[in-house]
Amino acid sequence: MRATIRSQVLTTAVLCVVAAYVLLPLWWLVVSATKSGADLFDTPALWFGSVDIGGNLDRLMSQDNGLYPRWLLNTLVYAGGGALGATLLAAMAGYGLAKYPFRGRGAVFAVIMGAVLIPTPLLTLPLYLLLSKVGLLNSMWGMLLPCMVSPFGVFLARAYAQAAVPDDLLEAGRIDGAGELRIFFTVAVRLMAPALVTLFLFQAVAIWNNFFLPMMVLNDQSLWPITLGLAKWNGIRTGFLRDAVVMGSLISVIPVILAFVALQRFWKADLAAGSVKL
């Protein structure tokens, strides 16, 4: 009994340390977003100074003729569109590799697994040259198309389709006269929902935080995402912009938190979706 209580206390203490480690930066961001530029350096880092939320918001939205709302909209388009495209393509590719036997299937999957192991920076120069060749530099499609490719997503979708989509169910659909596309969208996608929601969230967060790709592809400031715009403002050595950068950073994490909270219920609701009722 003593060992159990000791392990519970130890587990609780470790979880508290982890929670503090995760939440402390967010608390600093919330507190700092309420301060003026001068108070950011003259007051305690983890407690409030003179509250100037309205002033910070006004400076954020009016800086550079109101570029921040445009950057926020661009980020939503890149993260939402890129994650949606990557999820759909990965689901179709993973489902096809799992359920359709064809010559060379193992070789195709080996190539995809090899792509998972390649560090992203190694693809920078080839990707830049490819986008330049097809005329997609400094355009939204130049950002969106690379984000729609997810080798890890294909691996995840294939593994989940093998485990959660019964062959008998697909065969029953074919006997009833359903086409392959209808079976995929009405049967397979529903059974693969937990994996696809996970893939969508991971891909959306990765695109939301991406800095290197937009820095390489985009020159026009009106096409920048939040990460690139705030990095530029942060490089300007004035306290006037620091309060706007902190407020902009706080606003930028809100959609990510809302997405996790909204989609979390799909994980819980669909955990048993792969079972077959007899």
The string of pLDDT tens digits covering residues 131-173 is: 999 999 999 999 999 999 999 999 999 999 998 899 999 999 8
pTM for this structure?
A: 0.85
Read off the pLDDT band of 7 (50, 70, 90): confident
**Which structure tokens are listed for 240?**
């006037």
Q: What is the mean pLDDT of residues 114-121?
A: 83
pLDDT at 272 over 60: no
The CA distance from 109 to 86, in Å, is: 17
Please give the helix or strand (H or E) that residue 175 lies within, else none.
helix 167-175
The CA distance from 191 to 276, in Å, is: 10
**Number of C-beta neighbours around residue 45 at 10 A:** 11
Tell me what the pLDDT averaged over the chain comes to: 87
Are 34 and 48 in contact by the 8 Å Cβ rule? The answer is yes
The CA distance from 191 to 9, in Å, is: 39
Residue 277: the pLDDT is 45
The CA distance from 133 to 130, in Å, is: 5
pLDDT at 38 over 90: no
Q: Hey, is 61 helix, strand or coil?
A: helix
